[in-house]
Amino acid sequence: MSDKEQVRIPLVSEQAAILARCGEAFCHAVNVKFNCTAILRNVEEAGSFGSNTSGVLRAEKRYSTKLSSGVEVSVWKDDLTRHKVDAVVNAANEKLKHGGGLAQALSAAGGPMIQKYSDAIIQKKGKVKVGEAVHTSAGDLPCKHIIHAVGPCLSPNPTKWETDQAAPLLYNAINSILRIVLNENISSVAIPALSSGLFHFPRDRCADIIVKTIKQFDEFTRFRSNLEIRLVNNDEPSVQEMERAVKAIWGQSSISGTYSGAVQGSMAFSSNSRFQFRNVTLQLKTGAIEEEKVDVIVNTISAECNLSMGLISKAILNKAGSKIQDEISRRKHSNSTNVHVTKGHNLNCEAVYHTVCIVRSEPMATQILYDVVSECLRKASMGYKSISFPAIGTGNLGFKKCEVARIMTDAVAYFAKNNTKKLDVNFVVYPKDKEMMEAFEKEMKMRKIAAKSPVVHNDMETSFAFATNETAAHKMPSVEFNSVSREALREAKEWTTNMLKPSDIMTIKNNHVIYLGQDDHAYLLSLQTMLNVRIEEFFRKGPRRSSPELKNVTCCILLFDGAVKMYLGYKHLKSVQFWKKLI
């Protein structure tokens, strides 16, 4: 082949969002590995279809309450480097060297002035003692102040005795933060789970201490009534612990129910509300799931099959009557799947499919959600003509709304490919949950655009994306490969397809990891916070090979895969990685 040939792979919204963030590293890796040129098409516009183009978290308020003093305390899932408040709290060390974890992420986002301000404090006052805090200007961050708090550092897997000894120091650190908030007239502050990450303080104890310290400080010190104290973390386990801790002190949130959003409401249809997948019609609507008039209503329940737990399940129980609880209690031990079937009782349906999922932080959570939706569709197609789903998993289970929309729509789309019977499928969204509705609409809009083109399947089973030669090139995000070698194009396409498949764990094997120095390891730790992944590095017996394992990733891959320069002759080992982001 003398002339270059090309091949194009279409991208769904989540894939495009990640390449928008890591495109340079991706293109470099493709060039080094396969001697191909990679060109990203329409990737920057992917935000019109997905939750956001940068692949970062969308701020999500999980809990809110007002104290008697007028102070608002809330729990958020968000990226602290982007959270808009007067002050954010940094998990600092005594030397204020921001080389890892949250500290590195904030310093990188805020620019070099943050480290410069910190160095000036150390030169003038010396080290910051554990349990104390100082504040600096926030540089380029979207806030005015950074409060650098030094929490206690424990050994990995600390004993109860070690944790008990460190607890007063964490209490002092939170008190120091609140004093700065008071003295500097700060109107809103974002506090993370201080010491719980690289410093190994148990997450549950950390949350309890932070919340109790806020309560005591409010009782004995006069806060301004317009103060907002936000407990902000970007990882689901920390968010859930904070939510648990605040509920234990102040009770339920003043925010209306958010489990999956099924409460009373009138039915309404949205724009972009209907899509035809072959014999399957998917309808998006707002309303109360328990008021649906269909053959099958889908419920989401706890593993204990207690229908009084969760907003959706409780609403269905109230409408169906107590006999539905009696029936599922009798049947739960005879069913080995995650879908329990009962009669509709007083509901306007023939059957109820009670689904059991797990929290998002658990392994295989996304696969289980996909599987239960698929199983419900399979069961319904064997004797029924219509089925209605709530938005499963967006409340206590901790799934992102854009993630739920993608997984549920993917399940319907893939089911439709092999289904020969007509089936009406409804996604029913709580009327006030605009974010959930938008997420579903964007998924459907993306598929409508793809479906207008001549259909070419991209071999990623769960993504259900389609490609065209011309039309999709102008409308859909995609990656184009150019090379003089057909074999190189084939390998590049296969590698990229595998890289972009949904995955919770990715192991990268590369012997050069053994040459990583202290600065390199600090950089990797900072990526855990910036990209919301967890990295474990270990050596296995047998051929000498180091395997950093990326856990809880959704769209992975490119760090030690690619052009890893040899350690000898270079000051720093360089490597290229395309990271999959958490959901």
For 152, which DSSP code?
Answer: -
pLDDT at 50: 36
Q: Which contiguous run of DSSP H or E holds residue 382?
A: none
Q: Residues with Cβ < 8 Å from 380, sequence gap 6 or more?
A: 295, 296, 353, 386, 387, 423
Burial class (CB in 10 A: 0-12, 13-18, 19+), 336: exposed
pLDDT at 28: 72
The pLDDT averaged over each successive group of 10 residues in the chain (583 residues) is 68 70 72 79 49 51 87 90 90 86 83 89 92 91 91 88 92 94 91 87 93 90 80 88 92 58 40 75 91 95 88 92 93 80 95 92 87 94 95 86 91 88 93 87 76 41 34 58 84 81 58 60 54 57 47 40 34 36 37
Q: For residue 133, what are the β-bridge partners?
A: 149
Per-residue DSSP letters for 451-492?
Answer: HTSPPEE-S-TTT--EE-SSHHHHHS-EEEEEES-HHHHHHH
The alpha carbon dihedral of 552, 555, 560, 565 has a sign of negative
Report the C-alpha gap between 393 and 401 in whole angstroms: 8
Q: Residues with Cβ < 8 Å from 452, sequence gap 6 or more?
A: 471
283 within 8 A of 274, measured Cβ to Cβ: yes
pLDDT at 70: 86
pLDDT at 491: 87
* pTM score above 0.75: no
Per-residue DSSP letters for 32-59?
Answer: HHHS-EEEEES-GGGGGTSS-TT-PPPP
Query: Residue holding tokens 């769209």?
Result: 555
Q: Which contiguous run of DSSP H or E holds residue 267?
A: none
SS (H, E, C) 397-460: CCCCHHHHHHHHHHHHHHHHHHCCCCEEEEEEECCCCHHHHHHHHHHHHHHHHHHCCCCEECCC
Kindly state the tokens that stand for 78.
């968000």
Kindly state the tokens that stand for 523.
């950089």
Report the C-alpha gap between 131 and 209 in whole angstroms: 13
